[in-house]
Structures are given as C-alpha cells and as structure tokens.
Amino acid sequence: MDRPRAVGPGLSQPYTLATVYVLHCADYAGPYAGSFVPMLRSAAQEARRRGHETGFVLSDVARGRTWLEELERVGEIQFVHAGGSRTSDTGPLARRLAGVLRGQRGAVVLHTHFSTFDIPAALVGLRRRDSAVLWHEHTPLADEPHTRLRNALRYRWVGRLADRILCVSPELHRDLRARGAPPGKLLDFPNAVDTQRFSPITDSERAAARSALGLPPAARVVLHFGWTWHRKGGDLMLAAAERLGSDPELTVLTVVGESATPDLANHLERIPALRVVAPTSDIRRLYGAADVFLSCSRAEGMPFAVMEALACGLPVVGTALPIQRALLSDLPGACIVPEDDPAAITAAITAVLSLGPGARAAHARLARARIDPAYALETWARRLVDLYESTSG
C-alpha cells in the first residue's frame, strides 16, 4: 500500500512510495554499542520517518546485551543460532531468514552485516522476487590462501545475487574487486559515528573516568583495543609498552577479547605499565581516561575506534594503513607510524604524550571538525534509506 510522504529537504512537492520492510541481519554480540548499534538505530529511525518498517535478526549470543534496548525501540528483534559462517550453516540460516520473512508482503530489503548472513540472505532473495539484498562489508579480508580462494568463489559467483555490496573503505572496495566481486555491485559507503555519544571529553569526565578505573589523576594513559589480537597489533602494543619503560606515571590500557595471546599474564609481570581491561559497555569511559589512543592495526575496514577517539578529541597514534592515514593526516595530535615497527610506535607515543594543552586543544577542535558532520549518523542514515528506496523500487 502506498503511503503519503511529507515534503523533504530539496523536494518541491509531496510524493508517494510503497512501504519497504528492512531486515538487518548482523552476527554482532559485542558488549558495547559503540557506533555500530547507533548506526542501525539511526537507519531504522530514518526509515520510520519515511513510512517504512524495520526488523533485526541477531545471533543468539547477543541475548542480554544492554544495547538491545536501543534497537527494541525501533524494530522487532529476533535471534537465531548463527553458528559462524561455515558453508554447512548456509542452508539452515537461509531457512531461518525465510521463516522470519514469512507473512511479509510487499518490498523487502535484506541488509546483512559482517558476512555471516550474506549467502543465506542471497539465497532467500533468489526466491523472493520482491526483495533486494545488500551485503555490508565492514572488516578486512583475510589473506591466507584457502580464505582467498573461498572469498573469490563467494564474491565472484554468489556476489552476483546481491543487489549492492557496500564497502566501508576504498581499500575494502579494491580487495573485493580483486576477489572477483562484480564491479557494478560495489558501492563506497563509509561508516558513521554517533557524534552525540562520542562528544569531546570534559575535564570532569576525565577525572571521573580515571577514578572509576583506579588511575591517578596525573597518570599518562595510553589506550589500545586488542579484542582481535593479531589484527589489532597486540604484539606491537606489548613491544612498545616494554620499550616505554617503568615510568610509574605511565599506564598502557589494553582491552582484550578471547583471541588475546595466551601468555598475556607473563607480559603483565614483565611490563609494569601494562594493564588489561575486560570489554565493557561503557566504552566512552575508556576514551575519557586516556591521553592517547593507539591503533597499531595490521588491517582495518573503517576503524570505528579511531573515528570515535577523534570525535572525543583524543590524540591518536596509528599505523600507516591508507584509511588511517586519511583520518589522521594533518592533525596536530596524530602520528602515523610504519606498520610492524615497535620503535616508531614508542617514539610516536612519547611525542604525543608530551603535547602541551594548546596543541591538545587545537587537535581536539580539528579532529572533531573532521568527523562531524562528514561521518554523522543522520547524514549516513539518509543516504542509506535513499539506497533502500532505489533498490526496492
């Protein structure tokens, strides 16, 4: 049924558009909402504003996460046992998605995130002539020979069933094309940041964050996220922390996941400055406690953490990945270092920690201006719902 549309920006008269049902499918279960969950929420809000409806299919390991409340306000959530992205799971997942859509009439957009649901959604879309399938590729592709072959088959053949393949960075676009993805399907679509949640850190927030983490007010704090340990350069962070020495005012916080190095306890004994923090839903508090954010990643899609740190006004040391160079270049509190060079990382951290208040303030102002409004949620959501409407028409 067609519903009336109100006049929007740049439109001279009202028009009508058939209601679209959007189903976001994401194998995401992190303890923190970060900016990804607000992206989903913002897309659903913009879709609702235009008269469309949204639902969510999440992996059952996401049950109980505090951020589910953000999505429950804008659409129904259903949980499935994703079981990873193994080929053997493709059929069962496709049947589960088809079951979720049973009874839906009219245009449907299946929007998948993080690859687990990509092939199942494509199979469902093949059977539903009134559907569009968007694959949203967020993470860099692994480079092992067997993975390259599997991805080449997936993108070269099954990728033809997707209406669009969204790439969060030019590097990911290039890699997907090299793996055989149809060039006409690829679309550059950078991530967004929740610029309200990740606003500049105030002095009172900084003091409260340090108190909550048991850090002295005068501590010099380096923050690193190592939940995917090797890709996030956990070993490089350890080597840099060891080189930084035993300054009692220096603390290197690393947030680790299940893939952290198994002998991390030995490093804690050997590196006095090192402190391990479990993943938390209050990620802003970690940014608030830090003096510098360290991103020594070996590969990135589009790094949420770097964008969030910049939005908070935090200085950043980042490895010379193309996407990180683009985000950090010409900022007074940012240092770009070679990959796999702990000595250069150490020197950059030392340099950033020595910045005076004026330089830090200038960096915070310019970093915030780089992120907002270019990567604001509202702009991103409008562009995404435009895409829904154009692909489902």
> What pLDDT, on the 0 to 100 scale, is given for residue 365?
97
Measured CA to CA, the distance from residue 38 to residue 67 in angstroms comes to 9
- The half-sphere exposure of 76 on its side-chain side, counting CA atoms within 13 A, is 7
Residue 87 has pLDDT above 50, yes or no: no
Residue 10 has pLDDT above 60, yes or no: no
Give the sign of the dihedral formed by CA 165, CA 57, CA 84, CA 93: negative
> What pLDDT, on the 0 to 100 scale, is given for residue 82?
80
Give the sign of the dihedral formed by CA 79, CA 81, CA 84, CA 86: negative
Per-residue burial over 241-255, b = 16 or more CB atoms within 10 Å of its CB, e = otherwise: bbebeeeeebbbbbb
In whole angstroms, how far apart are CA 46 and each of 5, 41, 199, 220, 248? Answer: 13, 9, 22, 41, 49
Per-residue pLDDT tens digits for 167-181: 999 999 999 999 999
pTM of the predicted structure, to 2 decimals: 0.91
Strands (E) located in 81-124: 107-113
- Sorted by where each starts, the structural domains of the chain and their CATH numbers stand as 2-192+376-392 (3.40.50.2000), 203-371 (3.40.50.2000)
Measured CA to CA, the distance from residue 318 to residue 326 in angstroms comes to 11
pLDDT (mean) for 69-75: 97
> What pLDDT, on the 0 to 100 scale, is given for residue 145?
80
pLDDT (mean) for 122-142: 93
